[in-house]
Amino acid sequence: MSEQLGVLDRLAAAALERAEELRKTTNLDALYQEALLFEKRDFAGALKAPGLSIIAEIKRASPSAGFIGEADPADLAARYQKEGAACLSILTEPEHFKGCLEDLDARERVTLPVLRKDFTVDEVQVLEAGTRADAVLLIAALFEVGPLARYVSLSVELGLTPLVEVHDEREVDLALESGARVIGVNNRDLRDFTVDLATTERLAGKLGAAILVAESGVKGPEDARRLRDAGADAVLVGEAAMRDPALIPKLSAVV
């Protein structure tokens, strides 16, 4: 891992403990084969559609917002699809986001590609994601370039789309060196939880041909238009949509 990042570092440490337990209780060869055979949907392709694509997120809580609300992932996934979302993001982190791996079963109710959003710090978690999801989140701040490139390569090998998340210029360079083709710019600074949409505006021009997903801070169509104008191919909307699911069709109308 790179520099200490407060809550992110703690979340990663807890994720490593879960990964170590998974390694003890799972046949890794069987898990690899299961992930390899699980038919994936084209997450990256869904983000290339004309206009601004919406990734609607399902999460019950977060460290910055606290408890947001209960949700039935399958029902919410079906609603988000009906209202124009291009993809889904589902939080599976149990302690701070109140998610679980089984929440990914919501995928069975929709035809949309699904991102497993968690704190991936071990290859076994990539394998696990490959058995239930179409894309996996890799947070650049948790890696050096060698390991990140290995995780990107493993994801692609399994048919997963790796969404590599960055917050600053150094992490952009790391993502590009790793071979990432879909890069998420997190407008939230995970060290102090401040949100600034200018983060996407500052970094967008450095991403080359990568698909750009703007994450965090979208509260309405004006925010979405601002990020689209900055060069975002997609926006990921979590807390605001959980509090007001009617936001998704409004964002989907932004072209």
Catalytic residue list contains 187: no
Sign of the alpha-carbon dihedral angle for 122, 59, 176, 187:
negative
Which entry of 178, 186, 187, 252 is annotated as an active-site residue? 186
Which entry of 165, 171, 201, 239 is annotated as an active-site residue? 165
Catalytic residue list contains 239: no
Per-residue DSSP letter, 195? B
Catalytic residue list contains 219: no
Q: How far apart are CA 213 and CA 200, in angstroms?
A: 9
Indicate the CATH number of 7-252 among 3.20.20.70, 3.30.200.20, 3.30.420.40, 3.30.700.30.
3.20.20.70
pLDDT in tens, the chain (255 residues): 344 357 888 899 999 999 999 999 999 999 999 999 999 999 999 999 888 999 999 999 988 888 888 889 999 999 999 999 999 999 999 988 999 999 999 999 999 999 999 999 999 999 999 999 999 999 999 999 899 999 999 999 999 999 999 999 999 999 999 999 999 999 998 777 899 999 999 999 999 999 999 999 999 999 999 999 999 999 999 989 999 989 999 999 886
Catalytic residue list contains 21: no
Catalytic residue list contains 59: yes
Both tokens assigned to 253: 């109308």
State pLDDT tens for residues 84-103: 999 999 999 998 899 999 99
Among residues 204, 197, 186, which one has the least CA distance to residue 224? 197
Catalytic residue list contains 215: yes
